[in-house]
Amino acid sequence: QPDLFSTLKGNLGSPYFAPFQNDKEKGWIHMRKYVIAGNWKMNKTPDEATALINELKPLVAGASCDVVVGVPFVDLPAALEAVKGTAIGVAAQNCHWEKSGAFTGEVSAEMLKAMKVGYVIIGHSERRTYFGDTDVTVQKRVRAALDAGLTVILCVGEYLEQREQGVTGEVVAMQTKIALGGVTEEELKRIIIAYEPVWAIGTGRTATAQQANEVCALIRNTLAGLYSWTCADDVVVQYGGSMNAGNAAELLAQPDVDGGLIGGASLKPQDFAAIVAAAK
Ligand code: 13P
């Protein structure tokens, strides 16, 4: 759909070009700090979580990016214990918007805060597709997470049919705008956006580096419209969807791709560590 992104053509993110700095030796270098986050989804028991993190720790000890593991709720205590003394962050995979109440099966942002969880993934397409999350409930969850002091990894992305219909840009911009409704400039500093095309998740069909960059740039453009270019330049926009040790370097070399949200490969310490190593 070449025309979809016509407004962005030739525009590598911001007009100020802040994501890159011209280094005499290295050429253009990526200035935003990369964030590589694993989304374990519904995998690993607490004991297995401890083992996986213990294996991961030495492999990412020298990372030049931020590293986060997104674990099932029941694994949070084990994960928080296992990462002690390291720079690895821990994320939950969802949170409810109310502080407490009659919401069987839900976990509130306040509860995560009480456990000292740093991050929460919100609006993942699996939550939207299988568990009825909508742009409006995503907005409410984002609000609660920010109020609780958490950093949000907000997921957006189009279905295959939407890409084929040529509405990827509209879908992703709408999801971003609604999710960030009411989010202040100051709060935006605790928002990471993960662009995850649904057709690339768990399918082995990765978006091309160009496709990933186009939509990440479009998200940044949307943020610039909502806030300013100065704010938009500082936001980490990740790509997610079949990112692995083999394709990470090319995806991460894109000017508007500032990291990855990794599913399957995050369950294999060596593979996840290879992606972390590619983020520099
Ligand atoms: P995969 O890396 O398994 O495709 O999953 C991506 C994802 O959904 C991360 O949130």
What are 66's strand-pairing partners? 35
Between β-strands 27-30 and 20-23, what pairing exists: parallel, antiparallel or unpaired?
A: antiparallel
pTM score > 0.75 for this model? yes
As a whole number of angstroms, the distance between CA 139 and CA 161 comes to 24
Closest of 65, 70, 113 to residue 236, by C-alpha: 65
- If you take atom 1 of ligand 1, which residue's CA is the nearest one? 263
Choose the residue to mutate in 158, 243, 262 for probing ligand 1, maximizing ligand atoms within 8 Å of C-beta. 262
Tell me how far CA of residue 86 lies from CA of 2, 47, 59, 63, in angstroms.
44, 19, 12, 11
Mean residue pLDDT of the chain comes to 92
As a whole number of angstroms, the distance between CA 194 and CA 103 comes to 27
- Position 28 confidence tier, pLDDT thresholds 50, 70, 90: low
Centre of ligand 1 from the C-alpha of residue 261, in Å = 7
Centre of ligand 1 from the C-alpha of residue 121, in Å = 12
The answer, yes or no, to whether any atom of ligand 1 lies below 6 A from the CB of 243, is: yes
Q: pLDDT per residue over 223-264, tens digit each?
A: 999 999 999 999 999 999 999 999 999 999 999 999 999 999
Give the active site residues. 124, 196
Centre of ligand 1 from the C-alpha of residue 272, in Å = 12
Whether the CB-CB separation of 273 and 29 falls below 8 Å is answered with no
| Angle at the Cα of 195 from the Cα atoms of 191 and 199, rounded to 5 degrees | 150
Whether the CB-CB separation of 68 and 89 falls below 8 Å is answered with yes
Choose the residue to mutate in 36, 41, 159, 239 for probing ligand 1, maximizing ligand atoms within 8 Å of C-beta. 41
Task: Give the residue carrying structure tokens 């649904």.
Answer: 198
- Ligand 1 atom, smallest distance to 126 CA: 8
- Position 30 confidence tier, pLDDT thresholds 50, 70, 90: confident
Question: Which stretch of 6-20, 84-98, 100-114, 226-240 has the lowest confidence by average pLDDT?
Answer: 6-20
The answer, yes or no, to whether any atom of ligand 1 lies below 6 A from the CB of 124, is: yes
Q: Kindly tell me if the per-residue pLDDT of 15 is higher than 70.
A: no
The answer, yes or no, to whether any atom of ligand 1 lies below 6 A from the CB of 240, is: yes
Centre of ligand 1 from the C-alpha of residue 216, in Å = 16
Q: Both tokens of residue 198? A: 């649904």
Closest of 268, 193, 180, 171 to residue 227, by C-alpha: 180
